[in-house]
Amino acid sequence: MKEVPQNEKERAIVVGLVTRKIHKRQAEEYLDELTLLADTAGATVVHRIMQERNSVDPALYIGKGKVEQIAQLVEDDDIPSVIFDDDLSPAQVHNLEVAIKRKILDRSGLILQIFARRARSNESRTQVELAQLQYLLPRLTRQWTHLSKQFGGIGTKGPGETQIETDRRMIRQRISHLEKKLEKIGLQRETRRKGRKEFVNVSLVGYTNAGKSTLLNALTDAGAFVENRLFATLDTTTRVAALSPSTKILLSDTVGFIRKLPHHLVASFKGTLEEVVEADILLHVIDVCHPKFEEQIVVVNATLEELGAFNKPTLFVFNKIDLLQDRLHLQELQTRFTPSVLVSAERGINLSGLKETIIKIIHHSFVDLIFSLPHSEQKALSALYDLAEIGEKIYEEGTVRVKAKVSSRNIDQVNDILKRAKATILAS
């Protein structure tokens, strides 16, 4: 097998498509992002190829003539891999490999590769391996195996390398083993989460490289890894952040999102992303200097929807304002995205404004209740544990006086239970 030395970057070609649905400018921006992804995966893009077609070719993705041109180019310039800015079908990958005789990667494959390189913890490694195997399974053809033995470097590292020679049955066994392992890790996480119910849970979400980890570091002593690259963070870090002397929250930083995040990856990272699903409040961090930040907001919202975490109280945090020359349009932006704050996580600009706004949202999103419940209503009390943060309990004659913090999402349900249990509300 031809090994790519660690310090030598593998050269690659990126290929994009302009169709009736995707305009040229948009396709160029997608290729810019793909180039950045390739760089993060350890490759240098030496050629960009763009084709205009009415639609995607079902067999080859691009036209036959273009494929022949690429085959010539990779031979002349000795380029080992070609990366397509879309998800290719297993048949397309197969046909392109036969025609171009080089390693063919698609966008999902590349993102999985980056995740595999960056995964450090037991959990993220397991999640990435699972996603890689699920991605590999339908693509496991004799041709693929044959070619991947011939060409090393990006796209064949990770489980691909060791598992590729094994048959589908073994991969399926491995998948079920990894799923079980993740289930176990999930249970441990659940136990840990139960132990910190007294805090309001806030999750940082956003497009990759928006500055989520920088913000976590600015608000806590997490010392999280920050880098001007895509997917610097894969594991979830949770820390206590003091918003004021009397308000402390649990703040979690997690993996960033990107356009066309592979479906397998979202599914297998569900465990890591559970912090987001379980959060009381989301801070949606946006790199306001990015020319396409509005599109990024749409991508993040769509991913949140896929996770079932879209309808949570959300604060838009427009970050990196230190880099902005023209701040006029920001006012207009703040009227469209509410509630929102403008900050610089790196320079520490307006962090106090951010903290105050989070406190306001907490007050809006939660109701503090004190009620007294007959002793006989233990069932109601245990139902309330699932819907509210139950604090101090004082046992009195025949009743128990309970302090609870209820999210506005659950308040109707809680009131119903209290009514049925003939509770007396003492303060709210």
Ligand X SMILES: Nc1nc2c(ncn2[C@@H]2O[C@H](COP(=O)(O)OP(=O)(O)OP(=O)(O)O)[C@@H](O)[C@H]2O)c(=O)[nH]1
Instruction: Give the residue, chosen from 232, 279, 362, 404, that forms a contact with Mg ion under the rule CB under 5 A.
Output: 232
Q: Rule CB under 6 A: is residue 353 a binding residue for ligand X?
A: no
Q: Is 319 one of the binding residues for ligand X (CB under 6 A)?
A: yes
256 binds ligand X per the rule CB under 6 A: yes
Residue selected from 113, 134, 209, 272 as contacting ligand X according to rule CB under 6 A: 209
Report the interhelical angle of 107-118 vs 24-40 (nearest 10°): 30
In angstroms and rounded to an integer, the radius of gyration of the C-alpha atoms of the chain is 25
How many chain residues touch Mg ion (CB under 5 A)?
4
Stretch that binds ligand X, among 10-18, 184-192, 342-350, 419-427 (CB under 6 A): 342-350
Figure out which of the listed residues 233, 238, 319, 357 binds Mg ion, where binding follows CB under 5 A: 233
DSSP codes, 75-116: HHHT--EEEESSPPPHHHHHHHHHHH-SEEEEHHHHHHHHHH
228 near ligand X, judged by CB under 6 A: yes
252 is an interface residue for Mg ion by CB under 5 A: no
Closest CB to ligand X among 231 and 371? 231
Contact pick of 134, 236, 344, 357 for ligand X (by CB under 6 A): 344
Q: Which residues of 98-124 are buried (b: 16+ CB within 10 A; e: fewer)?
A: ebbebbbbbbbbbbbbbbbbbbeeebb
The answer to whether the CB of 175 falls within 8 A of the CB of 130 is: yes
Q: Is 208 in the site for ligand X (CB under 6 A)?
A: yes
Distance CA 417, CA 428 (A): 16
The residue among 34, 129, 139, 136 whose CA lies nearest residue 86 is 34
- Stretches 168-176, 273-281, 317-325, 368-376: which one binds ligand X (CB under 6 A)? 317-325
399-418 residues in contact with ligand X (CB under 6 A) are: none
Kindly state the smallest distance separating residue 372's Cβ from ligand X, in Å. Answer: 46
Give residues with Cβ within 8 angstroms of 287, minimum separation 6.
Answer: 206, 207, 209, 210, 211, 293, 296, 319, 320
Token pair 């040229």 in the structure block, residue: 24
Backbone conformation region of residue 305, classed left if phi is above 0, alpha if psi is from -120 to 50, else beta? alpha
Nearest residue (CB) to ligand X, 213 versus 252: 213
Which CB atom, from 254 or from 407, has the smaller least distance to ligand X?
Answer: 254
Helix residue ranges, H only, 245-350: 263-268, 274-278, 293-307, 328-336
The residue whose Cβ lies closest to Mg ion is 233
Say how many CA atoms lie within 13 Å of 262 toward its Cβ: 27
Which does residue 345 bind out of ligand X, Mg ion, none, counting CB within 5 to 8 angstroms by kind?
A: ligand X
Q: Is 213 in the site for ligand X (CB under 6 A)?
A: yes
Angstrom distance (rounded) from CA 351 to CA 324: 17
Taking the least distance from each CB to ligand X, the nearer of 304 and 369 is: 304
Report the residue number, 225 or 337, with the smaller CB distance to ligand X. 225
Out of 105, 205, 226, 369, name the contact with ligand X by CB under 6 A: 226
Look at residues 345, 343, 275 and name the one whose alpha carbon lies nearest to residue 312.
275
Query: What ranges in 233-315 are assigned the alpha helix state H?
Result: 263-268, 274-278, 293-307
Among 320, 342, 371, 418, binds ligand X (CB under 6 A): 320
Give the residue nearest to ligand X (CB).
Answer: 256
Sole binder of ligand X in the list 211, 219, 273, 406 (CB under 6 A): 211
Residue list 132-191, contact with ligand X (CB under 6 A):
none
CB of residue 286 to ligand X, shortest distance in Å: 10
Of 115 and 144, which has the nearer Cβ to Mg ion? 115
- CA geometry: angle 309, 196, 123, nearest 5 deg: 65
Residue selected from 81, 213, 217, 344 as contacting Mg ion according to rule CB under 5 A: 213
- Minimum CB distance to ligand X smaller for 54 or for 228: 228
Closest CA to 9 of 58, 42, 55, 46: 42
User: Cβ closer to Mg ion: 95 or 236?
Assistant: 236
Q: Where does this chain touch ligand X (CB under 6 A) — which range of 11-19, 155-163, 180-188, 203-211?
A: 203-211
What H or E segment, with its residue span, contains residue 142? helix 142-150
CB 253 within 8 A of CB 236: yes
Residues 276 and 309: beta-carbon distance below 8 Å: yes
Query: Can residue 39 be called a binding residue for ligand X (CB under 6 A)?
Result: no
Exposed e or buried b for every residue in 164-175, given b needs 16+ CB within 10 A? Answer: beeeeeebeebb
Site residues, ligand X (CB under 6 A): 206, 208-214, 226-228, 230-233, 256, 319-320, 322-323, 344-347
Site residues, Mg ion (CB under 5 A): 212-213, 232-233
